[in-house]
Structure 1
Amino acid sequence: MKILILGAGAVGGYWGARLTQAGVDVTFLLREKRAALVKANGLVVKSPKGDFTVPVKVVTRGDEGAPYDVVIVACKAYDLDSAIASIASAVGPDTTIVPMLNGHAHFATLDATFGAARVAGGLARISGMLGPNGEIVHSGASGVSFGERDGKAARPALVELDAACKKAGIDGGLNPDINQDLWDKWVMLGTIASMCAAMRGTVGDIVAAEDGAALVRETLDECCKVAAAAGHAPSAKVRAGLEAGLTQPGAKSVASILGDMEKGGAVEARSIVGDMLMRARKAGVAAPNLRFAYAHLQAYEARRARGGLRP
C-alpha cells in the first residue's frame, strides 16, 4: 500500500514517521521550505515513547509517485483549498482520501471535489507541536480514528491502513462508527476552543474564575444539543468524561486555537465554532455562549486582517 500524507506537522508528521519506522510505504507532500528541511534532516521526533529520527520520502507535487492508495490530509481547515489543489494529481480512480481536519465542514468541499465515495471519515488525537527547529514534539496521546461514513463494511484500503497503524503502534485505527467519533471530538473541541479563545486561558484558569466552570458546562450543553439534533448525541459516559476533563481545577489543558491567537496566527474559527453555531441556529438550539465566542473570534480575525490595533 502506498500512502501520501499532506503535511508533516504534529499530526501528519508523527503518524507518518511511526508508519515509516514500521516499514510502511509513506511519502510526504510538503511545501518547498518544509520539504528541504525534512530532506536534509529526516523527520525528527521527540516523544515520551522514545526519540528518533527517520529519513522519509518527500515530494513537492502530488503527481510525483501518483497514484496513491491512501491520501491523508493533515492540514488546518483554513488551508483546505490549497490542500485540495496539491493532492488533486495524486488521486487516482481507486484512491481513498482520509481527511484529519477538525469539525465537519470540510466533508462538503471534499465530496464536491472528489466524490463522496472516495472520502472516508478521519480524526486524530495526537498531542504535540512543532519545535523551533522543525522537530515534532510529541507530548502524549497518539491515536487516530478512521472509517466509512456510510456505515458500510470498510474498504480494503482502510483495513490495510488499520493493519499498518497497529504495526506502527498507533492507537485507535478503524472505527465502524466514525461519524459518532467525529461528533464526540467536535463537541469537545467546540467547547474548549470557545472557552479558551473567549477567556484567554487554560481549563484551569477558566474554572478558577467565579463562573468559569458553569460557563464551560453551559457551552458543553449547547454543543451536545447540536450533536443530538444531528442524531449523534454523545453517550452519557462520553459526556461525563468531557465535563470532568473540561472543568478540572488546575488543568493545563488548552485549545490550540488560543496558541494560534497569541502568536497572531490564522485560526480555525469557522470550522470549529462558527459551523457549530450555524448548526445550532438551523436546529433551533439556543447557543448564547457559542454566539459570544464566535463573535470574539471574528473580531480577532478582523483585527488580524488589518495588522493589529491601528484604527
Structure 2
Amino acid sequence: MSFKILIVGAGAVGGYFGARLAAAGRDVTFLVRPKRAEALRGQGLQVKSPLGDLTLQPKLATAEDLSGPFDLIFLGVKGYALEAAMQDLAAAVGPGSIILPVLNGMAHMGRLEARFGRDALIGGACRVAVTLEDGVIRQLNPLQQIGYGELDGTVSERIRAVDAAMHGLGFDAAISTRIMPDMWDKWVQLASLGAATCLLRGTVGEIVAVSGGQATALAVLQEAADVARSSGYPPSEGLMSATAAMLSQQGSPFASSMYRDLMGGAQVEVDEILQDLVDRGHAKGIETPLLQAAATQLHIYQAAKAGLHA
C-alpha cells in the first residue's frame, strides 16, 4: 500500500526534503498557494545542490482542491505562516494521519496540538542550509539531517513507517527516542546564532574579529541554555561545545538564516525563535538581556518593514 505524503509548502525546507522524497519515487503531493503552483508548473521544482541538482514536475494541490486524508503531513513552513498553513492542510488530516513539523522553536507544537490533537503529532528536527531564490531552492552546504520521533520517546509502528519512507533518499534520517530534547537543542543553537549575528550585524568571523565580539556571542549562548535548562531541557554537552566552537571560529563566513533574511529585507521569525525563548525565561525568573535586545531590534525592523512607524 502506498504511503501518501503531503508536503505543506514548496519553500526552502519543505521543497528540499519533498524534492528528495519525490525524486526517490515516494508518493508525494505538494500543498502550495496558487501563485507558487503556477510557477512550479512553468519551471518545475528546482534544487541546486553541491550533492547534485534536480528538477521535477511535482504533483501539486491547492487548499481548494486538496483531497485527503494523507498518511504523513510534512510541515516545514516559517512560523509566521503556520496559522494559514493549518487552515490549508486541515482537509488532509484523517484519523490515522501523522503530522511531522520541522518548524523552528517550540511554539508551533502547542498550536498544532490545539488544532489537530496530540495524537496526530510527532516531533521533528532538521538541519539543512537552504534558501529559496527566484523560485529555485539552493543548498548552501552538504549538511542535511532530519530526526523524528514520538513525543513520549517510544518507537511505534507509525514511526517505523515514517522512517522507512525517509531512508535511501541521500540525506541523514533517523528515529529519535529523545525528540523533545533534540528540538530544544536545535532551538538553543538556532537562537544563539540568530541573536548573535542579527544583534551584532555580522558573520561569525566578523564578530570574533573585534574586541568583545566572541564574549558577547558566547554570553548569548549561555542565556539561551539557561532558559532551556529552566524549562527542563538542559542542552547536551556536545551541543554546547559545538555551538561555542561555531561562535568562536576566526574568519568564519557563517551567518544564521535569520541574519540572511534580515540582510535580504525579508520577514524574520523573531517571535518564534527569540521572543518565545525570552518569554519562557522571564516566566522562570531567568534574565536574558542580550536575547531581549536582539528580539527588540528585530521587532523594530519588522514594524518598519510593515510601515507601522509614524
TM-score normalized with structure 1 length:
0.94
Distance 2:192 2:292 in 1: 12
Deviation at 1:300, TM superposition (A): 1.3
RMSD, aligned CA: 1.5
Distance 1:185 1:25 in 2: 29
Superposed, 1:105-184 pairs within 5 Å as 105-132=107-134, 134-139=135-140, 140-156=142-158, 158-184=159-185
Superposed, 1:52-67 pairs within 5 Å as 52-61=54-63, 64-67=66-69
Deviation at 1:204, TM superposition (A): 1.1
**Partner of residue 96, structure 2:** 94
For 1:68, which of 67, 70, 80 is the aligned residue? Answer: 70
Superposed, 1:1-311 pairs within 5 Å as 1-61=3-63, 64-132=66-134, 134-139=135-140, 140-156=142-158, 158-306=159-307, 311=310
Q: Report the 3-state secondary structure (helix = DSSP H, G, I; strand = E; otherwise coil) of the residue aligned with 2:94.
A: strand
CA contact (8 A) 1:63 1:89 kept: no
Deviation at 1:40, TM superposition (A): 2.7
Deviation at 1:86, TM superposition (A): 0.4
Q: Report the 3-state secondary structure (helix = DSSP H, G, I; strand = E; otherwise coil) of the residue aligned with 1:168.
A: coil
Distance 2:199 2:279 in 1: 18
CA contact (8 A) 2:189 2:239 kept: no
Distance 1:130 1:296 in 2: 25
Q: For residues 47-84 of structure 1, what are the alpha-carbon distances to aligned partners after superposition, in whole Å with 9 as ceiling and x for unaligned? A: 11111212211111276241100111110000011000
Paired residues in the alignment total 307
Residue identity in the other structure for 1:192: L
CA contact (8 A) 1:4 1:71 kept: yes
Q: Report the 3-state secondary structure (helix = DSSP H, G, I; strand = E; otherwise coil) of the residue aligned with 1:110.
A: helix
Q: Report the 3-state secondary structure (helix = DSSP H, G, I; strand = E; otherwise coil) of the residue aligned with 1:92.
A: coil
Q: Which of 31-40 and 175-184 deviates more? A: 31-40
Deviation at 1:143, TM superposition (A): 1.2
Deviation at 1:270, TM superposition (A): 0.8
Extract structure 1 runs of 4+ deviating beyond 6 A. Answer: none
Q: For residues 238-269 of structure 1, what are the alpha-carbon distances to aligned partners after superposition, in whole Å with 9 as ceiling and x for unaligned? A: 21111001221111111121222223322111
Distance 2:177 2:207 in 1: 35
Distance 1:117 1:161 in 2: 15
Mark the runs of 5 or more structure 2 residues left unpaired by the alignment: none
Distance 1:62 1:233 in 2: 43
Distance 2:156 2:209 in 1: 45
Give identity over the alignment, percent.
39
Residue identity in the other structure for 1:268: E
Q: For residues 122-181 of structure 1, what are the alpha-carbon distances to aligned partners after superposition, in whole Å with 9 as ceiling and x for unaligned? A: 12211111232x12111221111111112222342x322212221212213321111111
Q: Report the 3-state secondary structure (helix = DSSP H, G, I; strand = E; otherwise coil) of the residue aligned with 1:94.
A: coil
TM-score normalized with structure 2 length:
0.95
Distance 1:37 1:207 in 2: 41
Distance 1:252 1:74 in 2: 26
CA contact (8 A) 2:31 2:60 kept: yes
CA contact (8 A) 2:70 2:92 kept: yes
Mark the runs of 5 or more structure 1 residues left unpaired by the alignment: none
CA contact (8 A) 1:17 1:43 kept: yes
Q: Report the 3-state secondary structure (helix = DSSP H, G, I; strand = E; otherwise coil) of the residue aligned with 1:93.
A: coil
Distance 2:209 2:173 in 1: 34
Q: 1:243 to 1:85 in 2, by over 3 A?
A: same
CA contact (8 A) 1:62 1:89 kept: no
Q: 1:62 to 1:91 in 2, by over 3 A?
A: farther
Q: Report the 3-state secondary structure (helix = DSSP H, G, I; strand = E; otherwise coil) of the residue aligned with 2:108.
A: helix
Q: For residues 193-213 of structure 1, what are the alpha-carbon distances to aligned partners after superposition, in whole Å with 9 as ceiling and x for unaligned? A: 111111111111111121110
Distance 1:155 1:107 in 2: 22
Distance 2:62 2:303 in 1: 32
Residue identity in the other structure for 1:220: L
